[in-house]
Amino acid sequence: MIYFIVFSDTTGQLVGSFNDHALGEIWYSSRYFYVLLLGAALAPVILKKDLAELEWLSIVLFVSIGLFIVVNFWELVIDPKFVPVNTSTKEYFEPKMTIKFISSLSIILVAYSYQQNVFPVFSSLQVKTN
């Protein structure tokens, strides 16, 4: 679900930046619109039974990554509305003990533990399939 949120926030801000709207200011720049749109687009993919039917998905993935890179390049280099922020990195290397730091630390540890357990879980399966 976190991927849905990241996708919808990024897309909402991107679409809103083209029309000078903030995230969630209008219906087509809201998080909920793009979560529903992505869920509807992924419903047929989720219902597929065989991996052979998903060959086209890898093509869509690489095209999406390419478009993402092109749009980000455009936003950072060509877009006249983009104003660079302070490039001093001093503030990023000083940890601040806030609730955000603690919650982000727990998310990183959970992600790391999931990554470390993927192979042992797969190895313990009796029938190993993709």
Reported residue count of the chain is 130
User: Residue 66: how many CB atoms within 10 A of its CB?
Assistant: 10
| Structure letter (DSSP) for residue 97 | -
Joined together, the tokens standing for residue 83 give 């104003």
pTM for the predicted model, two decimal places: 0.44
pLDDT at res. 66:
92
Dihedral, 42, 44, 45, 46 alpha carbons, nearest 10: 90
Joined together, the tokens standing for residue 58 give 């890898």
Kindly list the distances between the CA atom of residue 126 and the CA atoms of 49, 71, 120, 123, 129, in Å, as whole numbers in the listed order: 20, 45, 12, 8, 10
Residues 6+ apart with CB under 8 A from 21: 29
pLDDT at res. 51:
65
pLDDT at res. 1:
67
- From first to last of its 130 residues, the chain has per-residue pLDDT tens of 677 888 888 888 888 878 877 777 888 888 888 889 888 888 887 777 676 677 777 788 889 889 989 988 887 787 777 777 766 777 777 777 888 888 888 888 888 888 777 777 777 776 766 6
Q: Whole-angstrom Cα distance, residue 34 to residue 21? A: 15
